[in-house]
């Protein structure tokens, strides 16, 4: 029972962590909370589900295209809703992001209708026993894929030219520009990567819950933001740690405390973190 | 027809109070609250519960709503208003979700069905019935709120708040206790929203969680941005337009949220000062360059 709840928590936590990475990277480079991150997650899931429903594409192509579509939504969003407002009072892009989030959500509602869509293809997942403990292969696959994406991101940011350029922009945008880095392009790249990761999380959760619907991004988006704060906003390993911790806390809370208030756990943790340690577990740039 | 116009007028009055209170947070303290509808709801439920269970008269019920929502605002503002503006936005959004869950899950709030049979107010022997004198009561409260807000924003405290919004560090250097001011205005705004909730509950006479969700919080935000952040007159205009317009465009109900979202982004890019933001209270600093 405990192990099962732990595993459930890690699985949803992995999705929170992927979305939180998007929040944290964008916050790191622009100081902006992209409220529409949850809608990008939803967009990724929808594109993959619609592609698979046609029966013409295989799973991996649909997964890749879903991530790509989410990335494009993110980049377009940055271009339309955030770039024209750069340099204004921090309140202005924040409200713009909220507007964009509502816009995308209601657009999805108009295009796809309010009902849940099941995932179009069936996988034959089973439960295997690892070291005497039951493990669902579905959860195993989601965890492995999520950890793979995180590892790729960390390697990209630490060891590649473009990754280092993003870090430079996050540290000091003006100096980065003086060093010949095209800051606008790096911001767009950040949105591209962060959104692709959120899209991947959306597709995984569409499989996990077997449901895709227009408002699916609302709560995961909010919880992932709490996760980013918990880990230390602007800090990449922090976002991963925060996401996994939050998923586990939520799952254990629902199992042992109260299931009706499951969705409240994340916000209770958020408020506690802000009271006790606003910079997060691993020091971020939040305060 | 007259009854319908009266109904729209009462609703507009209630939303004017809500929009002004949110504008105090946005346009004067430079913060965003995304859970403002939660205060509206807490006010409504508090007022309804004390009048249903303890038989409180309207004046006492409204006062309870004022005190309880003010207390919630204070409790929420204390940990978050010392930090950057983004945190308040998220925490209030989360607060809205939690409050919604509480309304839905508790037995005392009636779950998804809400509360019914809330009595209309009776003050000094006069009963303010929904289709009759209620508009007078709402108008009086709106005038009181307007008088309070105008005297606040034109006082020393109002100037201090604007200084905080425009440049927090400079305001601190000038000796303004910035966290205290932000917490004060947030508490006041929450209490005002609570009062609006009380007026709403005793007007509609039944309430359920649906009226106080995220949708309403976003609607309030759209009212403030449309009218102009930092403009009290703007909030009145924004509240009236976005109360009356959806009623006239009933057949486009599905497109409402799309409109609000698009409106927020479009206005901020094309006309960040809103409809009425040109005047003395305009928020021109909000668009200052780095």
Q: How far is A36 from chain B (nearest CA, A)?
A: 11
Using the beta-carbon criterion (under 8 Å), do B30 and A89 form an inter-chain contact? Answer: yes
- The ranges assigned to domains in chain B are 2-211
- On chain B, the residues whose CB falls within 8 A of the CB of A287 are 83-84
> Is residue A170, in this structure, part of any structural domain at all?
yes
> Is residue A205, in this structure, part of any structural domain at all?
yes
pLDDT bucket at B188, cuts 50 / 70 / 90: very high
Indicate the DSSP class of residue A234. Answer: T
Q: Is residue A219 less than 8 Å (CB to CB) from chain B?
A: yes
Using the beta-carbon criterion (under 8 Å), do A85 and B32 form an inter-chain contact? Answer: no
DSSP alpha helix (H) spans, B81-177 = 85-105, 134-153, 156-166, 168-173
Q: How far is B235 from chain A (nearest CA, A)?
A: 16
Using the beta-carbon criterion (under 8 Å), do B288 and A88 form an inter-chain contact? Answer: yes
Indicate the DSSP class of residue B287. Answer: G
What mean pLDDT do residues A265-276 have?
A: 79
> Is residue A209, in this structure, part of any structural domain at all?
yes
pLDDT at B18 over 90: yes
> Is residue A81, in this structure, part of any structural domain at all?
yes
pLDDT at B113 over 90: no
In sequence order, what are the residues at sequence separation of 6 or more whose Cβ sits closer than 8 angstroms to the Cβ of residue A128? A134, A135, A137
pLDDT bucket at B290, cuts 50 / 70 / 90: very low
pLDDT at residue A173, rounded to an integer:
84
Distance (Å, rounded) from C-alpha A189 to C-alpha B229? Answer: 32
Q: How far is A141 from chain B (nearest CA, A)?
A: 31
In this complex, the residue of A84, A110, A263 whose CB is nearest that of residue B269 is: A84
> Is residue A248, in this structure, part of any structural domain at all?
no
- On chain B, the residues whose CB falls within 8 A of the CB of A229 are 87, 90
Using the beta-carbon criterion (under 8 Å), do B91 and A270 form an inter-chain contact? Answer: yes
pLDDT at B277 over 80: no
Report how far apart, in Å, the C-alpha atoms of B150 and of each of B3, B146, B232 are.
31, 6, 8
Q: Which two tokens stand for residue B2?
A: 């007259």
What are A183-219's pLDDT values in tens digits?
889 999 999 999 999 999 999 999 888 888 888 888 8
pLDDT at B283 over 50: no
What mean pLDDT do residues B3-29 have?
A: 89
> Is residue A222, in this structure, part of any structural domain at all?
no
pLDDT at B89 over 50: yes
Q: How far is A23 from chain B (nearest CA, A)?
A: 12
Distance (Å, rounded) from C-alpha B41 to C-alpha B211? Answer: 8
Disruptive mutation site among B214, B261, B273, B274 for chain A (greatest number of A CBs within 10 Å): B261
pLDDT at residue A285, rounded to an integer:
52
- On chain B, the residues whose CB falls within 8 A of the CB of A102 are 218, 257-258, 260-261, 264
In sequence order, what are the residues at sequence separation of 6 or more whose Cβ sits closer than 8 angstroms to the Cβ of residue B20? B145, B146, B149, B192, B232, B235, B236, B239
In this complex, the residue of B30, B221, B290 whose CB is nearest that of residue A98 is: B221
Range of the domain at A103: 11-217
Mean predicted lDDT score pLDDT of chain B: 82
Distance (Å, rounded) from C-alpha B197 to C-alpha A41? Answer: 34
> Is residue A4, in this structure, part of any structural domain at all?
no
Using the beta-carbon criterion (under 8 Å), do A95 and B91 form an inter-chain contact? Answer: no
Using the beta-carbon criterion (under 8 Å), do A87 and B32 form an inter-chain contact? Answer: no
Indicate the DSSP class of residue B123. Answer: E
- The answer to whether ipTM exceeds 0.85 is no
Q: How far is B151 from chain A (nearest CA, A)?
A: 25
What are A152-172's pLDDT values in tens digits?
998 998 899 998 888 888 888
> Is residue A38, in this structure, part of any structural domain at all?
yes
Task: Provide the number of structural domains found in chain A.
Answer: 1
Instruction: Give the 3-state secondary structure of residue B115.
Output: strand
Instruction: Give the 3-state secondary structure of residue B107.
Output: coil
Distance (Å, rounded) from C-alpha A154 to C-alpha B288? Answer: 36
Q: Which helix (H) or strand (E) holds B61?
A: helix B58-80
pLDDT bucket at B143, cuts 50 / 70 / 90: very high
pLDDT at A222 over 80: yes
Distance (Å, rounded) from C-alpha B19 to C-alpha B236? Answer: 7
pLDDT bucket at B257, cuts 50 / 70 / 90: confident
Burial class (CB in 10 A: 0-12, 13-18, 19+), B114: buried
Burial class (CB in 10 A: 0-12, 13-18, 19+), B147: exposed
For residue A81, the chain B residue with the least C-alpha distance is B265
């Amino acid at each position: 029972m405990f192990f099962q709840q732990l595993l459930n928590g890690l699985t949803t936590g992995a999705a929170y962590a992927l979305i939180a990475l998007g929040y944290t990277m964008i916050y790191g480079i622009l100081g902006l909370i992209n409220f529409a991150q949850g809608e990008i997650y939803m967009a990724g899931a929808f594109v993959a589900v619609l592609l698979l429903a046609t029966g013409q594409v295989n799973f991996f192509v649909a997964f890749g295209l879903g991530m790509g579509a989410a990335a494009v939504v993110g980049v377009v969003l940055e271009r339309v809703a955030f770039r024209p407002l750069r340099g204004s009072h921090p309140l202005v892009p924040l409200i713009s992001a909220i507007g964009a989030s509502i816009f995308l959500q209601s657009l999805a509602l108009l295009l796809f209708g309010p009902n849940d869509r099941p995932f179009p293809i069936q996988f034959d997942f089973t439960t295997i026993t690892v070291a005497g403990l039951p493990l669902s292969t579905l959860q195993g696959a989601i965890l492995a894929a999520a950890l793979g994406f995180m590892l790729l991101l960390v390697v990209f940011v630490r060891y590649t030219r473009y990754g280092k350029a993003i870090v430079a922009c996050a540290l000091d945008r003006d100096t980065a520009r003086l060093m010949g880095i095209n800051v606008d392009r790096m911001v767009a790249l950040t949105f591209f990567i962060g959104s692709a990761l959120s899209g991947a999380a959306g597709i995984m959760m569409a499989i996990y819950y077997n449901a895709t619907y227009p408002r699916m991004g609302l709560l995961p988006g909010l919880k992932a933001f709490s996760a980013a704060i918990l880990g230390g906003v602007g800090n990449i390993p922090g976002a991963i740690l925060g996401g996994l911790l939050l998923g586990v806390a939520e799952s254990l809370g629902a199992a042992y405390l109260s299931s009706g208030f499951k969705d409240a756990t994340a916000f209770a943790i958020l408020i506690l973190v802000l009271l006790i340690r606003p910079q997060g577990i691993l020091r971020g740039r939040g305060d | 027809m007259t009854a319908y116009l009266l109904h729209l007028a009462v609703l507009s009055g209630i939303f004017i109070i809500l929009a002004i209170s949110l504008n105090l947070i946005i346009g004067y303290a430079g913060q965003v609250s995304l859970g403002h509808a939660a205060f509206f709801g807490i006010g409504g439920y508090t007022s309804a519960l004390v009048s249903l269970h303890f038989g409180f008269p309207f004046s006492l019920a409204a006062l309870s709503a004022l005190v309880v929502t003010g207390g919630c605002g204070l409790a929420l503002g204390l940990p978050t208003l010392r930090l950057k503006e983004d945190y308040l936005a998220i925490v209030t959004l989360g607060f809205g979700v939690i409050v919604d869950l509480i309304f839905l899950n508790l037995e005392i709030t009636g779950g998804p069905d809400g509360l019914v049979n809330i009595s209309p107010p009776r003050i000094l022997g006069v009963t303010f019935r929904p289709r009759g004198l209620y508009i007078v009561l709402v108008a009086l409260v709106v005038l009181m709120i307007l008088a309070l807000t105008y005297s606040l924003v034109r006082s020393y405290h109002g100037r201090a708040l604007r200084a905080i919004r425009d440049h927090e560090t400079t305001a601190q250097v000038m000796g303004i206790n910035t966290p205290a001011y932000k917490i004060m205005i947030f508490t006041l705004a929450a209490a005002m929203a609570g009062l609006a909730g009380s007026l709403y509950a005793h007007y509609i006479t039944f309430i359920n969680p649906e009226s106080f969700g995220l949708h309403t919080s976003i609607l309030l935000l759209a009212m403030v941005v449309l009218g102009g952040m930092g403009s009290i007159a703007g909030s009145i205009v924004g509240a009236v337009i976005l109360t009356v317009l959806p009623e006239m465009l009933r057949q486009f109900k599905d497109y409402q949220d799309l409109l609000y979202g698009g409106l927020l982004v479009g206005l901020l890019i094309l006309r960040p000062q809103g409809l009425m933001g040109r005047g003395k209270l305009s928020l021109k600093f909000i668009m200052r360059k780095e």
